[in-house]
Amino acid sequence: MLAVATTAAVALTAACGGRSDSADASGDSDIPIALVYPTSGVWKTQGENSLRGAQLAINDINAAGGVLGGRKLVAKVADAGNDPQTAASAARQLLQRDKVAGLLGAYLSSYTLTVSTVAERAGVADVTQSFSDELVTRGYKNTFKTTPTAKAFSTSVFDYLVGMYEAAGKKPPSAAILASDDASGQQQYAAAVEAAPKANFDVVLKVQYPANITDTNALVNRIAAAKPEILLLNGPDLAEIQIVKAIRARGIDVPVVGLGGAGVTTQAFVDSLGAGVDGVLATVPFNGDITPRAADVAKRYNAQHSGTFMPAESGTAYVGAWLIAKAIDKAGSADAKKVADALRTLNISDGPAELYPGGAVRFNATGLNESAYPLMIQYQGGKPVTVWPEKDAKAKPKL
């Protein structure tokens, strides 16, 4: 844990509210929150990044005074594994074992769809950074989605690209759309295929591939034959590393754009491509340069984990943990049902909200943070730099 509270951490705790006089607040025991993320399987990297972000937030919260007048948060971690059923089982066992105030998880949308069902039945809030539209269309009362929908990511990427190409005096390029076959990938694929022609992009190739792909030869052959001018790609980092390396080895040097971040926004992707990562674009819900507060958090995260940037999933998990802390103080209780009630009426523009584009968090009746919107980042000098929308840009895109 952090030995002392940083200025940003103190400010965030102050934003979480003051001492509660409720009976629950009179206790002095630690308050557990559940962290259900994949720490094994093909999504291990993103799961571990999410855990790191959430744990940094918990450390900051505790170092700055905790919640409910001094009580500490403690993480209860479960491995979501390599499939949605394992994720649900892990969440169920954790919730049966520990009386948690809330849950964070489970990164991958297909996992979160099952984990959130477990949380819904248990009356526990699932604060998630997953993208799937379905998470907020099922009528659940205990799912709180802090990020834009999968459809928003897939449509905004074309809006942003059009703006970027127009600013550079260029016309929209022909595109190949590739996405993994998990729940979020399927939705982003469908939305991208629908949105591309509306933005005057000529889609010359559309492919959904297995998330655990090991042989990319056939896929690369199809890309080479289609001759796209830009490649839009979604999937886990291991798959995207293989695909991008394979197309570069074949001399296919078209720009790569990550749909919804995913694998292209991990440290492993950057390390594997080296200098070749520069120019890669991606849409993300968080980037460490978006605000001074986000930059402070990212700097401390990188110092702890020897990275060059804070991955988007780490940033969104960090925010999620702070939102649970804020809801605990708002409820004046660590009771899960009261915390969920507090999240439903949460409406903030300071503290953890300052780490998100738009600078606000408020959940509508479906559980969607209606203030969230995607950013476009581009690797420049080996680091992700926000390049679009123009009002958020920290550098101009290089096309």
Give 344 or 26, the one with higher predicted confidence: 344
Question: What pLDDT does residue 44 have?
Answer: 92
Interhelix angle 312-331/336-344, rounded to 10 degrees, is 110
Kindly list the structural domains of the chain, giving each domain's residue range(s) and its CATH number in brackets, ordered by start: 7-148+289-368 (3.40.50.2300), 151-284+376-392 (3.40.50.2300)
Give the Å distances, CA to CA, from 118 to 85, 87, 173.
Answer: 11, 10, 44
DSSP 8-state code for residue 332 = T
Give strand ranges (E) for 62-184: 73-79, 103-105, 126-128, 143-145, 175-180
- List the one residue out of 235, 183, 244, 185 whose CA is nearest residue 213: 235
Report the helix count and the strand count for the chain, using DSSP H and E.
12, 14
Tell me the whole-structure pTM to 2 decimals: 0.87
Residue type at position 290: I
pLDDT of 279 above 90: yes
How would residue 2 be classed by pLDDT, with cut points 50, 70 and 90? very low
CB atoms within 10 A of CB 169: 7
Evaluate if residue 282 carries a pLDDT over 90: yes
CB count in 10 Å sphere of residue 203: 17
CA 25 to chain CA centroid, Å, is 31
* pLDDT tens sequence across 323-339: 999 999 999 999 999 99
pLDDT score of 22 more than 60: no
Give the residue among 18, 100, 24, 19 at the shortest CA–CA distance from 333: 24
Helix (H, G, I), strand (E, B) or coil at 84: helix
Average of pLDDT values for 179-202? 88
Strands 126-128 and 375-380: unpaired
What mean pLDDT comes out for the span 26-47? 90
Question: Would you state the structure tokens that stand for residue 56, as one six-digit string?
Answer: 């940094």
Q: Strands 230-233, 175-180: parallel, antiparallel or unpaired by DSSP? A: parallel
Segment 16-25 shows an average pLDDT of 38
Burial (0-12, 13-18, 19+ Cβ within 10 Å), 370: middle
Tell me the mean pLDDT in the region 265-284: 92
Confidence of residue 27 (pLDDT cuts 50, 70, 90): low
SS3 311: coil
